[in-house]
Amino acid sequence: MRQVPQFKRLAVGGLVLTIALSILILLAPAAAAAPRSTLGESNGGLAYGQQTRFGKSHLVQDSTWYAAKVARRNRLVGIGGAGTSITPLAPSSYNLSTTVTGQTFEQLGNAPGGGQTPDASGHLYTDGYFWNFCGEGATTVALGYWNTIAPINQMGSFTAPDPHTITTWDDTHNRAYIYWLGDIVKPPSFGSYGEFAYGTYPSGTTYTTDLRDTLNWEASRENTSNWSNYYYGIVWASNLSQSSLMADIESDVGVDHKADVVDVNTAYLPSWAGKGKSLSHYVAITGYNTANNTLTYIDTCGTGCGSDGNGVYTISLSSLYNGIENNFGNGSIVW
């Protein structure tokens, strides 16, 4: 059992946001990744294919809805023969604005005995769970392109506990939103609060089905009538081709102007170049160029958690595809 914030109502831009404050909930156990600062050649304690399993959510989306989503994508990118495309066709290249989303930077875990960065209140803390918040970082980026109840950079400041410590976060680097997703958000498919599944300290992970449900719940503005099939679905690596990966991104980014999230092996990412680490890692896709087969993505993990730094990067389509396919059975795109 743990305590999370009790329901407190915050006014955000004339809207009302409900966040949890001080009720007891049962924490769903999960074996998952060790802190990134200690990881070597393995996948950080994740079992093979672990993130493809059901997490908090056991939701199965409507197959008819998903088939229609794929058919629409095919028409948007001109797949399927003459006369089947629809307007507007996806442009040959498109990049979403990263002015706000590109600032997204996960909380630091802070190594015991090492240099510490305080939380928003100036409190010095150590919390290894935060090294595994890449799912929450990528979700925050993707939701930055939706009219959510609270914009990702307008959450304000709040204090809340996780199973290890209590910290305070504000809108700097969109960290209040990251933490709210990790610890407090609760789609109807969840039995407990938070997108992040806490395990025995410092282990924890984000299951891809939970990430999908969080995206749909918040993108729908928590609409209980249509949230589950609102926009996002999952394609696992086993059902993905290089051409379908690009088509998914073209239709979402180029036509709908929405970001996608991929679960990819860090060994293939330019933002982890030379680090010698192979880890399952979520990043958000925010742009593409079909002329040179490149993609733009945002990595929210800083140097402290093992990358070359948070920010906007470019990757070849083949590298991203191979990184998804060779990702310890966890590869996927949430599109």
What is the tens place of the pLDDT at every residue in 30-78?
A: 333 333 333 323 466 788 888 888 899 999 999 999 999 999 999 899 8
Q: How many CB atoms lie within 10 A of CB 61?
A: 18
Does residue 190 register a pLDDT over 80? yes
Q: What is the pLDDT of residue 240?
A: 97
Distance of CA 107 to the CA centre of its chain: 14
What range does the domain containing 146 cover?
Answer: 2-334
User: At 161, is the pLDDT very low, low, confident or very high (cuts 50, 70, 90)?
Assistant: very high
Cα radius of gyration rounded to whole Å, the chain: 19
What pTM, to 2 d.p., does this model score? 0.87
What is the number of domains present in the chain?
A: 1
Tens digit of each residue's pLDDT (9 = 90 or more) over 77-106: 987 655 567 777 899 999 999 999 999 999
What CA–CA distance (Å, rounded) separates 31 from 298?
27
DSSP-assigned states of every residue in 72-100: HHHHHTT-SSTT---SSPPPSEEE---TT
Residue 68: the pLDDT is 93
**What residues are paired with 197 via a beta bridge?**
205
Q: Scanning the structure block, which residue is given the tokens 């009538």?
A: 225
Read off the tokens for 114: 């090492």
Helices and strands, counts by H and E, the chain? 6, 15
Q: Does an H or E element contain 245, and which?
A: helix 242-249
What distance in Å separates the CA atoms of residue 87 and residue 175, rounded to the nearest whole number?
A: 38
